A = this chain, B = another copy of it.
Amino acid sequence: MKCTRCRAQAEINLRSHHSAFCRPCFILFFQRQVERTIKKEQMFTPEERILVAVSGGKDSLALWDVLIAQGYQTAGLYLDQGIGEYSVHSREKVERFAALHNTLLQIVSLAEEAVSVPTAAQFTNRVPCAACGTMKRHFFDQYAIAGGFSVLATGHNLDDEAARLMGNVLHWQTEYLAREKPVLQPTHPRFVRKVRPLYRLSEMETAVYAFFRGIDYVIEECPNSGGATQLFYKEMLNKIEAQMPGTKSSFVQEFLRSAQPLFVAPDGTPPRECEVCGMPSFASVCSFCRLVQEVERKREKQKSSHHKSESQQV
């Protein structure tokens, strides 16, 4: 097969794009697709400073790589979740990538700044992914504001978007559907714009990009892999895609074009500020601070009952 662009030997065949590419042309194609999405959706301009949330996986590092290559002003933000070996490995990959590109990287250790994901899950009876999500959102916003960034970019790809859309549609989560957009404008001065520049590129395409660019990323999945349901939806969507190529993309695109505007977020009161941390919140104390407080309370209780049983033993 020949490269659609330069007629050299193709290395990758993109059925849903009716194209095949050699290595350099695929890299160009991928970067241009991202650039087009950024422009079309007015995600950000070269004048803005962009905080890229990086996990060490292929998607977020591929995104960061493209943004650096296109000359955007970026910094990485890595949240060390304290999930054993997985966090150790993913942190190493992110640090190596940042060093290689000589670019800014902010590392936040959840264990130091708040509480690690496993501890939070253990003390609050939450599933790890729920605790992780709450803390991620909090620190993403906090560090974006603190660092003077106007935009937070995440590496969600088409498969992530389609799986999330499928889950929200199967249960008709209309409030979530109302916020399911590649660009979310801030609803409070301490929130920043949130963007997903890879939302039109498939998981396979980001994986190929990362491979062609020689990006060294963490391959293992998070061991909590709360994504069990997400993975299941992805599998379903891959079966549909195999039967009807292009469906995954049109499912997401057509949703954004013709259905998404129908789902209007309930107006309600704008967020106020959390009494503890000062970040935007709908309750007097934000969900992040409530989580941390709950862990502290239960830790204290455990300690004191531990003390009691020790003194009883004496």
Contacts and interface: CB of A to CB of B under 8 A. Distances in A.
A255 interface: yes
A146 interface: no
A259 B174 contact: yes
Contacts of A174: 258-259, 262
Interface of A: 169-172, 174, 177, 229, 232, 236, 239-240, 243-244, 247, 250-251, 254-255, 257-259, 262-263
A172 B236 contact: no
Name the prevailing secondary structure of the A interface residues: helix
Contact of A236 (B171, B240, B250, B263): B240
Given A171-B254, A251-B170, A263-B262, A232 B243 contact: yes
A171 B229 CA distance: 22
Contacts of A262: 174, 262-263
A240 B237 CA distance: 11
Number of copies: 2
A155 to B, nearest CB: 25
A169 B244 CA distance: 14
Nearest to A239: B236
A70 to B, nearest CB: 31
B169 A250 contact: no
B170 A259 contact: no
Contacts of A236: 236, 239-240
Counting chain B CB atoms within 10 Å of each CB, the highest count among A177, A239, A255, A262 belongs to A262
A172 B232 contact: no
Given A262-B262, A262-B263, A263-B262, A170 B243 contact: no
B170 A258 contact: no
A170 B162 CA distance: 10
A239 B259 CA distance: 26
A236 B166 CA distance: 12
B170 A247 contact: yes
A240 B170 contact: yes
A239 B240 CA distance: 12
